[in-house]
Structures are given as C-alpha cells and as structure tokens.
Structure 1
C-alpha cells in the first residue's frame, strides 16, 4: 500500500509517516519500481501501535524502545506517565480554580483582574510574611472574592496570616460561609478549627447555624470555639458546652462571663445555676475545677449565686473557701444598681 493510501486509512498524515521513516520508527517494508514507499500489513499495524502509544503520552523515543526492545517492561514507564499526568491535571485544576475566582469577582477591567491575580500569587507564596502582605495590601477598590479568602483560610497554618485572612474575610462581604462549612467535613482537625475561628467573625444566620452544628464535633477545641462564638451571639444552645469549658478550660473566664450574660434571661438563670452546681457536686476533689466553677458563680447576675457561694465559703478545700468568702463579700457590697434590682 502506498503512502497516500496509508495516510487516508490510518489518519496519519503523509508528512508524519515520512518523519516516522526518518526516525526509523516505522519504515516501509518495500519500495515500488518508481521508488515510492510501500507499506505492508505489518507496517500498518505498527503505525497503529505507534499512534496508540502516543495517545498515552509516550515520546517517540519511548515508543521506539517499547516496540523494539524485547526485554522492555512497561510498568515503570506507565507509572511515570501516571505521575506526570496527575501533576499536569493538578496544574490545570489550579488554573481552573484561579479562573473561577477571578470570574467570581466580576472584574470590570484588567486592573481588577491583575489585582486578583497578584493576590493569588501572594497567597501561594512559601513566605508567611509575603502571604500576609498580599492579604493586607491596599485593595485599590477591587472586590476580592470571599470564596478566595475562605479557601485560603482552610489551608493557612501561620497564625498571623490566618488572622489577616479572617479580618479580610469579615470585611469582604459575599457568601463565604458555604465554602467554610465544606471544611467541617475534613478529617484534618486543624482545618475544622480554622473554620470555627473564621465563622466566629462572620455575622448572619448562616454562620450561626454552622456554629451550632459544630457543637456536635468530635474535637473539644472545635466545640469550645463554637460555643464561645454562639454565647457571644446570645444563643443558649451553647450553655452546656460553655459550662464544660468552665470545667475543663482554657477560655474558662470568657465562658463564665458569657454564662453570666445568658443568665440575665430568667428562663435560663436557674438552668445555668443548676448546671454549675451539678459540676461542683461531680468534682469534689479537683481543686482547680472547683475554683473555676466558683469564679463562674460570681459572674451570675444579681445575688442568685450568693447562697451557693456562702456554702462554698465553708468548703473543705481551703483555696475554694477563701475565694468563695471573698466573692461573698464582693456581692454583699455590690451597689444597688439596675442589675441588682432586677434580681
């Protein structure tokens, strides 16, 4: 079969067939009387083998070796092709994500596009200082997509950069909650903790709902951050976890203050008091826990904790008794202000 007919049937151009011949990759078996290349059925099968291997991403040199070396084993080469293909796909996926982020910003001109690209490059830097600078750089009236900042929050391990990202995210507007919430499904507890810190600084019902869901997280730190944020929003669902934070620490002082604020609601005052007293009963020998609980009682509004503190002033633990006595004196000397009269 002559080269023109081979090109039509195989889909490989005559020019490429000549190139294969020059490389010794597919040499026609014969020549016509006029000197034209003449391909045998075996030659044509080799052409299809070459094209098949090219489709897998092999170079022409690799194809020649694969077809001619009887001792060639493809496993290592295929493994290398898989790795390189995965790297290429990852680069293309990163490019796609960048394009989506630029598109999400709805830029009106190339200056805005360039600013967003500059931010993306900065956030991808190995230098924490460079990443922080990229976040805090003047925005030049360019709207940075909240989704971009939320994505960076999930992966940022440097505390200073993470703080800058949360600051920028809280001011960016847009809907970042959905992207942050996706991080709550991560098996990496550090990612979930970052999500909590970011959600705590975002307003709105969606953030509150996400924080409430996080009260059921397996990680105590995630639950604690969620409870502190919810308590600051006046969400009483956080009460059990806030009481637990007083017991376990850290953030026990902040948790106690929030419990005191939530107890301003008479419907919750008795529940919170009972919860604190129950923990005192459950921890009869742990001095540090009893001290934290005693301090929390002092945050209760009015004098609702006075009787309990008077009992603790006679506690067997001297440190608890001394603290309770001092708090009783403080309560008894509290001025008759509006809060006092409410109780």
Structure 2
C-alpha cells in the first residue's frame, strides 16, 4: 500500500477510535462510560477536552467522574485549566464542583485568582467543599492568612462531613490559622465557637479524631471555658 494511503488509513482509524470513545462517554452503562474515559486518558487528545468537561457536569456516577478527572489531568494544563475556570461560572452546581476538584488535582496555581469568595461560600455544600480543597492546594505564598480568614466565615456550617472538610482545609494551612481560630472562639454563635475549638484541638492532636474534638468543644462552650482549659 502506498505511503499516502497508509497515512490516510491511519487517520481514518484514529478518527473512528476517537468517535467511539466520545460516544462511549454518553453510553447508558456506567462501566462503558468508565472504560471510555480510561481510553481517552490513556491516549490524550485535545479534541477530547471539551467533551470530558461537559460530561463532568452531568455524570451521575462518582467512579466515572473520578476517571473523567484523571483523563483531564492527562491533558496539557494549557488546554484544560482555562476551560475548567470557565466552568466555575456555570449555573450547574456539579459543573462547578467537578471543575474545582479537577483544578485541585492539576495543581496549576494560575487558577488561584478564579477561586473567589463566592465559590468559597457557595450555597451548595459540594461546591464549597471542593472550593476549600482547591484553595488550600492553589494558594500562593503569603496569601494563606487571608484564605484562613475567608474559610473561617464558614465555621459552624453544614453537617459533619462539611465541618470536617472545612477543618481539614484550615489545618492544611498550618500555623497561620491560629489568630483566626482564636478570634472565632468568641463568636456569638455557639456552633461557630464549637467548630473553631474542635478545629484547633484536631490541629494540635490529629490522633484525637474529629468526633472527640467536637464533643470536647461542646463541653468547653457549655462550661464557658477557653480552649486551653481542661
């Protein structure tokens, strides 16, 4: 077969493979979607990026969403990061949450300016948790204290999972959280005080566990003692 014909055939085969993978992302079977995302990530192609991001916004299965994120990570940040940042303005909560999650995995600090206060305080808990995780990964040197202050406005929020996620995000920032936590320990809202005290306890003694830290914090708030008293 002439060289030109071989090249044409190879291109046709590649186009067929790409089309099959893209169709697979929309298959009704989650296992097929998973395999399609795996195939795309194994052989990255710029043509796949938009479709991967589009699918992240609507994919119902957690394992498939994780594979979609992995596939995106396999592509160049120059292609993925601007598109993911654009998703942060989506009206669909899952689109925002998955974009933040993927940005945290990519770890490109050029995305930091896009992690805005509205995302850190998003009404959707999944979005907010993803924003907290992304923020502590992407925060530039010298801005951790400001981030700690922004995160502290969410103390006392949500269920156990949400509160633990916020505590972990704050603890990841290190020593800079101390003044912020101390300030919130006198907040008028007892839930905020409890969460601040529990976060400090967990930071100083990670082996204690979140449940123990919360129970200790509740006792402290009820007794009206400070976090350093027994």
Same fold (TM over 0.5): yes
Higher normalized contact order (CA 8 Å, seq sep 6+, divided by chain length): 2
2:167–2:199 contact (8 Å) kept in structure 1: yes
What is the CA distance between 1:300 and its match in structure 2?
5.2
Counting only pairs closer than 5 Å after superposition, residues 71-220 of structure 1 correspond to structure 2 as 109-137=11-39, 141=43, 143=45, 145-174=48-77, 175-212=79-116, 215=119, 218-220=122-124
Equivalent in the alignment of 1:317: 222
Equivalent in the alignment of 1:256: 167
2:120–2:151 contact (8 Å) kept in structure 1: no
In the alignment, the residues of structure 2 paired with residue 117 and residue 200 of structure 1 have an alpha-carbon distance, to the nearest angstrom, of 29
**How many residue pairs end up in the alignment?**
201
Equivalent in the alignment of 1:95: none
SS of alignment partner, residue 109 of structure 1: helix
SS of alignment partner, residue 219 of structure 1: coil
2:25–2:55 contact (8 Å) kept in structure 1: yes
What is the CA distance between 1:199 and its match in structure 2?
2.1
Unaligned runs of 5+ in 2: 1-9, 206-216
1:242–1:256 contact (8 Å) kept in structure 2: no
2:21–2:36 contact (8 Å) kept in structure 1: yes
| TM-align CA RMSD | 3.6
In the alignment, the residues of structure 1 paired with residue 183 and residue 91 of structure 2 have an alpha-carbon distance, to the nearest angstrom, of 34
1:293 to 196, 205, 215: 196
In the alignment, the residues of structure 2 paired with residue 161 and residue 283 of structure 1 have an alpha-carbon distance, to the nearest angstrom, of 43
1:224–1:241 contact (8 Å) kept in structure 2: no
Q: Which has the larger radius of gyration?
A: 1
What is the CA distance between 1:234 and its match in structure 2?
4.0
The structure-2 alpha-carbon separation of the partners of 1:182 and 1:313, relative to structure 1 and needing over 3 Å to count, comes to closer
What is the CA distance between 1:216 and its match in structure 2?
6.3
User: What per-residue deviation string (whole Å, max 9, x for no partner) do you get for residues 63-99 of structure 1?
Assistant: xxxxxxxxxxxxxxxxxxxxxxxxxxxxxxxxxxxxx
The structure-2 alpha-carbon separation of the partners of 1:325 and 1:123, relative to structure 1 and needing over 3 Å to count, comes to same
Matched, 1:231 2:142: no
The structure-2 alpha-carbon separation of the partners of 1:170 and 1:313, relative to structure 1 and needing over 3 Å to count, comes to closer
In the alignment, the residues of structure 2 paired with residue 168 and residue 117 of structure 1 have an alpha-carbon distance, to the nearest angstrom, of 16
User: What per-residue deviation string (whole Å, max 9, x for no partner) do you get for residues 215-265 of structure 1?
Assistant: 36653533442122111334424323422344214343343344334343x
SS of alignment partner, residue 57 of structure 2: helix
SS of alignment partner, residue 45 of structure 2: coil
In the alignment, the residues of structure 2 paired with residue 177 and residue 138 of structure 1 have an alpha-carbon distance, to the nearest angstrom, of 18
2:156–2:194 contact (8 Å) kept in structure 1: no
